[in-house]
Amino acid sequence: MTSLAPLIAPSILSADFARLGAEVDAVLAAGADVVHFDVMDNHYVPNLTIGPLVCEALRKHGVTAPIDVHLMVKPVDRIIPDFARAGASWISFHPEASEHVDRTIGLIREHGCQPGLVFNPATPLSWLEHTLHQIDLVLIMSVNPGFGGQKFIPEALRKIEAVRRLIDASGREIRLEVDGGIKADNIEAIARAGADTFVAGSAIFGQKDYGAVIGAMKQAIAAGRRPEPLRA
Ligand code: DX5
Ligand code: ZN
């Protein structure tokens, strides 16, 4: 059973970059909990986005909410201290992109951030076998990484359920985050599968009224997390 409070993490990939500070303020004022920060290097994924300077700029702008840095870069380790200094809260990475996964997890922790592992749609959960006891976040990709606005891959639901079982069995407080194609109309099923942290880019920033879409998402999550009624 999911126990951590649900969090909405808008992906700023779909924000208006010319007005990024105001966009982040607006989405947090509208009820978002976490800033999801997509870092792409045009090498590990075929797109290029933002780095530590932008993270630092958001902190200087006054953002105090957790910043959830999703690294889609290869190699990984070189950039971790820079993001820690820039004010990152959580740093997650794709295990395929690191030569030494255990070392990378340790590096994130040493620099005062919370480490997470990210799983692409075809990446097996076996990476968790020797890492789950060390991480604070598992991020399941429900699209292939690289772009916002893609369609949710339904097979991700089975994977979320499997991770939920692993986390519950571990007895540790580990967030289960899902990223890609999340909308108000599929978020209930994602919550029911066991997720507690929901990334949404285009579904939030593509609407005029951020509060309305975040409110609808929170309601749907609550419905998905409601315990099943007891049968007579
Ligand atoms: C994809 C990114 C996602 C993406 C989500 O590589 O990791 O965070 O921006 O965007 P939507 O919600 O539009 O699928
Ligand atoms: Zn992401």
What are 57-93's pLDDT values in tens digits? 999 999 999 999 999 999 999 999 999 999 999 999 9
Provide the whole-model pTM: 0.97
User: Does residue 10's CB lie within 6 angstroms of at least one atom of ligand 1?
Assistant: no
State the distance from the centre of ligand 1 to the C-alpha of 200, rounded, in angstroms: 7
Q: pLDDT per residue over 185-231, tens digit each?
A: 999 999 999 999 999 999 999 999 999 999 999 999 999 997 766 66
Amino acid symbol at 229: P
Name the residue with tokens 């749609």.
121
Alpha helices in the chain (DSSP H): 20-29, 52-61, 80-85, 101-110, 156-170, 187-193, 202-205, 210-225
Centre of ligand 2 from the C-alpha of residue 125, in Å: 18
Task: State in Å, rounded, how far the first CA of the chain is from the last one.
Answer: 21
Pick the atom of ligand 1 nearest to 13's CA: 9
CB 133 within 8 A of CB 109: no
Domain extent listing, the chain: 7-225
Question: How would CATH label the architecture of 7-225?
Answer: Alpha-Beta Barrel (3.20)
